[in-house]
Chains A and B, each alone.
Chain A
Amino acid sequence: MTDFSHRFRLSGFCGKKRVWAAVWAVLLLELAGPAQALAIQLHQGKEGIIVHQVGHLIFLLSMVVLVFIITGRQLNREYGWKMILLSAVLFSLWHVATITAHFFDNQIQVVTVENLSLWQVKISSTSGSRLMVYFYHGLKLDHLLCVPAIFCFYRGLASLVAAQRQTCQKQNDDREAEA
């Protein structure tokens, strides 16, 4: 029998490198030409929304954790961290809103959206609930949460930069005074 592994070793193409090459090759093939892979598990269309929802949940979880860490370490006494805390809260709310909206229209599909024209949109509930329709319409305005959230994050960073500059200036003054 021909010993191929020996040849691979001779060419420097061996061990972990081979494994990673194989992984990358499969991924690229998958992305370039999605098709039914009969040899492996079949993934249905709903997987995408579930992965997306999981992504939102991880983001939400991380924001909640961040809120607890900032409050637990009492960082929110400082204005910059207070703004970052507010940002985390707003992002959390935004995730809740988006997760809910995705749940209604993509997962359980109790709400349908139809563009009637350029300026009109029809939102209908399968149960016929007007409250659901209004609620969903409100959820569609999610930027009203995420824009203030990112703005608060920006303001927090700007405040931290200013505070850090003051600290550096003070340190320099102290060093000059010592010198």
Chain B
Amino acid sequence: MIFSSLPILFVDMAGSVAMVIISLLALNKARQLRELDTDNAIFLYLLWISMGFTIFAVSRSCSHILKQFLILTANPDIWHVISPYTGAVNTVSFMLVGLITLFFNQSWKINEKILTSRRRMELTHTKLRGLNQTLEQKVVERTEMLTSSEHRARRIFEQSLDTIIMTDDKFWISEINQAGLTLTGHLKQDVVDRKMAMAEVMAHDKEWQRIQDLLHTHEFVLNEETDFLRQDKSQVRVLITAGVDYGAFGCRKTYHFIIKDINEKKQMEQQIAQADKLAALGELSAGVAHEINNPLGIILGYTQLMLKEKTGVEQDLKTIEKHVKNCKEVVSDLLSFSRKGSKEMGLLDLHKVVDGVVKFLKNHSDFRKADIRVRLPDKGPVTVRGNAQELTQVMINLMINACHAIEDHGSTIEVGIVRSGRNQVNMSVKDNGIGIPQKHLSRIFDPFFTTKPVGRGTGLGLSVGYGIIRRHGGTITARNRKGGGAAFDICLPLEDQRHIPEKEA
């Protein structure tokens, strides 16, 4: 059958051209796809298959076009020579595309594995990033907590009013706070930089040894009382609590001491006990004095009546009168001590009181051996409310005691007045004599307590002075001086000058 060759020719030529163009476009798209995700094995496979299609399309189309061209140009012989080669290339291109396509499943599986691995990696990465952020946040939080904690601990250490000392395992001081430096009187560089030993600040070796033994045995001590030795060699009563610390990693042994200064508390307790005792004694003395005073008055009255008559025993009566008067004087002192007396109080200048006492005593023969030094404040009068006669009596008693305490020529008695703050004044009498034995300090204001030989004192001078000062709203204390000798300190409330009426002032 004869057909028009035009449809076959047209479809063949146009189809061949279209195949080449479209396959090249497809190859371009496959290349773009591959560039979008270079790790995707499927895209790589599609690129390969596109290349296969392109080779196939170009080879087949070119051979078809060449065939038509050679036939149309009446060169069929040439085509017969070329056709086996073009056919072979076509066959190879078929096989190439076919083989590539058959690898699709493997490519897909590889791609799935890659994608799964990538997803896992991304998931792991996300988790890691989350963990990292959490870790960073935790580090920041912990650092803040640590800084705050360290700040609190440092503040407690530095601001504590109790002494805090840290030592190494050999009891060499490695840290001490400001309160500790104040208590010991040392400088920080002396204590820490030069590694002062704890033993150097302990007053008693035996007590320190006992505390060390307790620390070694129990690894702590609780409220142990002992004395601290200050830089000026004075002692301070302290309460020690200590413990062992092995550090954050348990390999660095250190000792921590918390030391409470109880010196003032102890003194206060002693003073309270003394005051309580003297108050009880005062009550007792008042009762006794009251009971004795009336009979003594009667005895003295009758004795004086009998002396007016001629009885022949005048000498005996005078002896009775003398001793009854002595008794009355003792009773009067007892009443003064027990505050039962009633004396008028007024404003007085302590300068004048001290001046009067010193002038009076300087002329006394007993005081010629002593160098009496007076230290008074320069600014104006020191006004207190009190009884000048009683305060003079107290000063005379203290001066006489000081005079009795000094034995040799060249000794000194210091009398001084010092303002203590805005509301108080301290008056002191100091000597450089033999001092007061420690065991007597707690009894020194007791009535009838005396260390003087019989006949030299009644033991009422200081107790009377104590009563007078208490009645004036002040305190009197006795102590031994560091350089030797005794000191009596009287603390009296100052009268505010602004509140003194002009007439009185």
Mark contacts of B134-160 with chain A using CB atoms, 8 A cut-off: 1 yes-contact digit, 0 otherwise: 000000000000000000000000000
B105 at the interface (CB under 8 A from A): yes
A-chain residues with CB within 8 Å of residue B25 when the two chains form the complex: 154
Q: Given B15, B26, B36, B72, which contacts A154 in the complex, CB threshold below 8 Å?
A: B26
- Report Cα–Cα, A103/B98, bound state, in Å: 20
Q: Given B4, B18, B88, B102, which contacts A147 in the complex, CB threshold below 8 Å?
A: B18
Contact (Cβ within 8 A) B8 A158: no
Q: Given A48, A73, A161, which contacts B33 in the complex, CB threshold below 8 Å?
A: A161
- Knowing A116-B2, A140-B8, A157-B29 are in contact, say whether A150-B95 is a contact too (CB < 8 A): no
Q: Given A59, A65, A116, which contacts B104 in the complex, CB threshold below 8 Å?
A: A65
Q: Given B1, B84, B99, which contacts A123 in the complex, CB threshold below 8 Å?
A: B1
User: Which residues in chain B, 32-54, are within 8 Å of chain A measured between CB atoms?
Assistant: 32-33, 36-37, 43, 46, 50, 53
Minimum CB–CB distance from A136 to chain B (whole Å) comes to: 10
User: Which chain B residue shows the least CB distance to A114?
Assistant: B2
Contact (Cβ within 8 A) B19 A154: no
B497 at the interface (CB under 8 A from A): no
- Interface residue SS majority, chain B: helix
- Report Cα–Cα, A117/B6, bound state, in Å: 11
A-chain residues with CB within 8 Å of residue B360 when the two chains form the complex: none
A14 at the interface (CB under 8 A from B): no
A51 at the interface (CB under 8 A from B): yes
B326 at the interface (CB under 8 A from A): no
The 7 residue pairs across chains A and B that have the minimum distance between CB atoms: A143-B15, A62-B101, A55-B94, A58-B98, A157-B29, A62-B98, A55-B91
Minimum CB–CB distance from A101 to chain B (whole Å) comes to: 12
A69 at the interface (CB under 8 A from B): yes
Interface residues on B, range: 35 or more
- Report Cα–Cα, A118/B68, bound state, in Å: 10
Mark contacts of B2-40 with chain A using CB atoms, 8 A cut-off: 1 yes-contact digit, 0 otherwise: 111111100110111011001101100110110011000
List 29 interface pairs A-B (beta carbons < 8 Å), by A numbering: A52-B87, A52-B94, A55-B98, A58-B99, A59-B94, A59-B97, A59-B98, A60-B98, A62-B98, A62-B99, A118-B5, A119-B5, A120-B3, A120-B4, A121-B2, A121-B3, A123-B3, A140-B8, A141-B8, A142-B15, A143-B11, A143-B16, A147-B18, A147-B22, A150-B19, A153-B22, A153-B50, A157-B30, A168-B37
A-chain residues with CB within 8 Å of residue B30 when the two chains form the complex: 157
B-chain residues with CB within 8 Å of residue A157 when the two chains form the complex: 26, 29-30, 33, 46, 50
B71 at the interface (CB under 8 A from A): yes
Contact (Cβ within 8 A) A55 B36: no
- Knowing A59-B97, A61-B98 are in contact, say whether A151-B22 is a contact too (CB < 8 A): yes
A127 at the interface (CB under 8 A from B): no
- Knowing A55-B90, A58-B94 are in contact, say whether A124-B1 is a contact too (CB < 8 A): yes
User: Which chain A residue shows the least CB distance to B30?
Assistant: A157
User: Which residues in chain B, 213-238, are within 8 Å of chain A measured between CB atoms?
Assistant: none
A-chain residues with CB within 8 Å of residue B494 when the two chains form the complex: none
B108 at the interface (CB under 8 A from A): yes
Contact (Cβ within 8 A) B104 A66: yes
B-chain residues with CB within 8 Å of residue A48 when the two chains form the complex: 84, 87-88
Q: Using A130-B1, A153-B22 as known contacts, list a sample of 16 further A-B pairs with CB atoms less than 8 Å apart, ordered by residue number in A.
A: A54-B91, A55-B95, A63-B98, A115-B5, A120-B4, A122-B2, A133-B1, A137-B3, A143-B15, A144-B11, A146-B15, A153-B50, A153-B53, A154-B25, A160-B33, A161-B29
User: Which chain B residue shows the least CB distance to A70?
Assistant: B104
Minimum CB–CB distance from A171 to chain B (whole Å) comes to: 10
- Report Cα–Cα, A142/B4, bound state, in Å: 17
B positions within 8 Å CB-CB of A? 1-8, 11-12, 14-16, 18-19, 22-23, 25-26, 29-30, 32-33, 36-37, 43, 46, 50, 53, 57, 71-72, 84, 87-88, 90-92, 94-95, 97-102, 104-105, 108
- Report Cα–Cα, A140/B13, bound state, in Å: 12
Contact (Cβ within 8 A) B22 A164: no
Most buried by A among B3, B99, B102: B3
A-chain residues with CB within 8 Å of residue B4 when the two chains form the complex: 119-121
B-chain residues with CB within 8 Å of residue A73 when the two chains form the complex: 108
Minimum CB–CB distance from B67 to chain A (whole Å) comes to: 11
User: Which chain B residue shows the least CB distance to A124?
Assistant: B1
- Report Cα–Cα, A10/B194, bound state, in Å: 83
Contact (Cβ within 8 A) B91 A120: no
- Report Cα–Cα, A164/B37, bound state, in Å: 8
A7 at the interface (CB under 8 A from B): no
B-chain residues with CB within 8 Å of residue A119 when the two chains form the complex: 4-6
B-chain residues with CB within 8 Å of residue A130 when the two chains form the complex: 1
Minimum CB–CB distance from A139 to chain B (whole Å) comes to: 10
Minimum CB–CB distance from A154 to chain B (whole Å) comes to: 4
User: Which chain B residue shows the least CB distance to A159?
Assistant: B29
Minimum CB–CB distance from A115 to chain B (whole Å) comes to: 7
- Report Cα–Cα, A48/B85, bound state, in Å: 10
A165 at the interface (CB under 8 A from B): yes
A-chain residues with CB within 8 Å of residue B53 when the two chains form the complex: 150, 153
- Report Cα–Cα, A161/B3, bound state, in Å: 44
A-chain residues with CB within 8 Å of residue B33 when the two chains form the complex: 157, 160-161, 164
B-chain residues with CB within 8 Å of residue A133 when the two chains form the complex: 1
B-chain residues with CB within 8 Å of residue A143 when the two chains form the complex: 11-12, 14-16, 18-19
User: Which residues in chain A, 32-84, are within 8 Å of chain B measured between CB atoms?
Assistant: 48, 51-52, 54-56, 58-63, 65-66, 69, 73
B-chain residues with CB within 8 Å of residue A150 when the two chains form the complex: 18-19, 22-23, 26, 53, 57
User: Which chain B residue shows the least CB distance to A130?
Assistant: B1
Minimum CB–CB distance from A30 to chain B (whole Å) comes to: 12
Contact (Cβ within 8 A) A118 B72: yes
Q: Given B8, B23, B50, B97, which contacts A62 in the complex, CB threshold below 8 Å?
A: B97
